[in-house]
A and B are shown apart, each in its own frame.
Chain A
Amino acid sequence: MSIKNTLTIWFGKFMVKALHLLGRDAGNAPGLILWEMNKDCLKAFKVDCPIIAVTGTNGKTSVTNYLNHIFESTGKKIITNKQGNNLDTGITSLLLQNCDMKGRVKADYLVLEIDESHVPVIFSKMKLETLVLLNFFRDQLDRNGEVETLILKVKKFLETFEGNVVLNADDPNVSRLGLANPKNKNIFYFSVEKYAGATEKPYEVGEGKFCPRCGEELKYDYYQYSHVGKFRCPKCGFGDVKPYVTAKNVKLDVPSIEFEGEEYKISHNSIYYVYNLSAVYAAASLYNFDKKVLHETFEKFEVNNGRLEKFNVDGSSLLVNLAKNPVGANMTLRVMNEHKGEKELLFVLNDNLADGHDVSWIWDINFSVFNDVTRVVTSGTRAYDIAIRIKCSGYDPDKIVVKPELDDAMVEFFKNKGDKYAIANYTAIQPTRAAIKRYKAKVKEGRENG
């Protein structure tokens, strides 16, 4: 090991230790400082085990957690960034916490979620075995730039990559990346058979309406959600791929799906979630897991952490879901609208740096269907913006209550008992979960004190 690399590791380990002694969680900070000092700091680590990375706009955290659970269920030692921290600096911090003084990282597998724009920089310095690509939607445009720019970045990386690439065949933005390196034979597509909620016309705003190869408008047999569906270029035939894995017989009322002739019980009734599971199934199939582990995982494992997370609060049942972009929000609204009976909605919208300062994406959310929603509470630093958006879709402004402070919002939201849904964007999701828990504790305390 070169002296520079040795010093990089020693200094990094020293920072982690010092922060621990101060009682702090290491977080992103050591990685950030190391990158400032040495742009090649990732090369200082010795990782001999295979690395599996998950990227895409939506579902990274969920798919990474599922894969991690599957690998761990078979007794493998995994290093993973379960909580996000998916930028170059976050990965550096993660490795620092898990390496010895020589920079050796001991594990059977690294299962990492990686921000789309950081895939090239991280894996030009570490050897990647499998890349799972879920989807590309418009997301935080002021931070990430246009979707096309992001796709081209990943494409450039894939042009020389020869490892496994697991791709969503039904998203033209992802599927096109299978053509990036014609020499790579390790391209594995996953797909989901048409489900009952699929539509002939797009129901939600999408990207990728034109063929990336020849510019012709793509023709769709059906849309599953957003621009994900069965598409084909009438001119050059783009889109005609043979999937490695296809989820069949999607029954969201059970809910269950079928892979390779076997029925799998699953724990959520959203098509978006079925796509995540198909990606998990495809990636897991490359590593030959016992089907029993997959059955157990699909039926019982929950990511929680604000991803389709269920709460019972004071006689109300609540489903909380993160939404960083229109597609994420539309998915939660779909689940909400498909649920029969009256319900209330909480929408927490922040505009902090990590959210993107631009909140205009909320206008791409489809609020035109709002089945039996009796009241809406909004909160967060942009509580009024989301309230206006919902009002202009035709909803009665007198049924919208704006409470920018989360604790006030909770008191308002749980005033009536019943079925409830909450959507929160990126920096809002953890504070929202915390506020729900605080409210629960307060109710319990109130009851005990009589």
Chain B
Amino acid sequence: MDKLRILHMYPAMLDLYGDSGNVEILSYRCRMRGIETEVVKHDLGDKDTDFSGVDIVYLGGGADFEQQLLADDLLGLKDNIRKAYENGVYFLMICGGYQLMGQYYKDSNGKKIPGLGLFDYYTVASTNKRERCIGNIVVETTLGDKKYKVIGFENHGGQTTNVKTPFGKVLAGNGNEFASSVEGYTEKNVTATYLHGPLLSKNPRLADYIISYCMTRKTGQPYKPEQINDKLEAECRKVLLERLLKK
């Protein structure tokens, strides 16, 4: 049986807004296709986290307080993470996880938290804690060569700029900055986004895209996931897109 290994970074600290649900959904959708998943965790202070053989690195969102606490630990993993990224491991990062992989994050108290510097973007939060991008959001992204509408919920004070290859075009909501036209950051093996929901719950094709990428990379054969019962997801998307894209 095929097996995918997911490295869940700081699950106890980066787990705001049900973000850990993304790992649950990836595991669920793999299980339905007869793919086993193993979720390994890296917690603050872990010294012997094994990055080899990892297929997906996952980081969720966290509060400012938690991001500060883990910044040093994350910097200590810089070489491991860069190597995994260069080897084509898939990186899925939400909100705080997205911010921490950039150059830096300046929080709402003006405190600068250094990022891992894997990507060029950087994030500055308004010092007015009330100024946040909050609400339902729809982003149009491209998966392979197909356009796909991604539905989620954004809630961030941070404004992310210097994004060269955004995840998608904003159809409703704010995106990387207030009233931005673009959202998130992407590469062939990277999805970084502000979308909670959790992200994969209402966007099964994005989940399957990640699974296909990982399986193809692992086996060397093009992988096509078989269709599973997604009636609930299809109905949910229909209802929400109708509601959110109504002008």
Contacts and interface: CB of A to CB of B under 8 A. Distances in A.
A363 B21 contact: yes
B223 interface: no
B198 interface: yes
Contacts of A393: 24
A320 to B, nearest CB: 24
A234 to B, nearest CB: 14
Contacts of A101: none
A215 B66 CA distance: 10
Contact of B12 (A209, A361, A404): A209
A446 B15 CA distance: 50
A214 B212 CA distance: 45
A145 B136 contact: no
A205 B240 CA distance: 27
B134 interface: yes
A393 B20 CA distance: 12
Interface stretch (A32-40, A76-84, A160-168, A382-390): A382-390
B193 interface: no
Contacts of B202: 385, 388
Contact of A388 (B15, B20, B201): B201
A394 B236 contact: no
A142 interface: yes
B153 interface: yes
A391 interface: yes
Interface string A356-398: 0111111110000000000000000000110111011110011
Interface in A322-361: 357-361
Chain A facing B: main interface SS: helix
Interface centre among B17, B65, B229, B232 (most CB of A within 10 A): B232
Contact of A360 (B12, B153, B239): B153
Contact of B63 (A142, A146, A404): A146
Contacts of B135: 142, 357
Contact of A384 (B20, B155, B197, B235): B235
A363 B229 contact: no
Contacts of A384: 232, 235-236, 239-240
Contacts of B16: 138, 141, 146
B111 interface: no
B129 A389 contact: no
A210 B62 CA distance: 14
B18 A360 contact: yes
Contacts of A385: 201-202, 236
B69 interface: yes
B233 interface: yes
Q: Of residues B12, B17, B20, B136, which shows the largest number of chain A Cβ atoms within 10 Å of its Cβ?
A: B17
Contacts of A145: 129
A397 B231 contact: yes
Given A210-B69, A358-B153, A358-B196, A388 B17 contact: no
A391 B233 CA distance: 10
A394 B229 CA distance: 12
A226 to B, nearest CB: 13
Nearest to B44: A217
- Max chain B C-beta neighbours (<10 A), residue from A138, A364, A384: A384
B232 A142 contact: no
A148 B68 CA distance: 14
B25 interface: yes
6 contacts: A210-B69, A360-B201, A387-B232, A387-B236, A389-B201, A392-B21
Given A141-B16, A404-B239, 20 more contacts: A146-B65, A148-B65, A209-B12, A357-B135, A358-B153, A358-B155, A358-B196, A359-B153, A360-B19, A361-B18, A363-B18, A363-B21, A363-B24, A363-B201, A364-B18, A384-B240, A388-B201, A388-B232, A389-B21, A397-B229
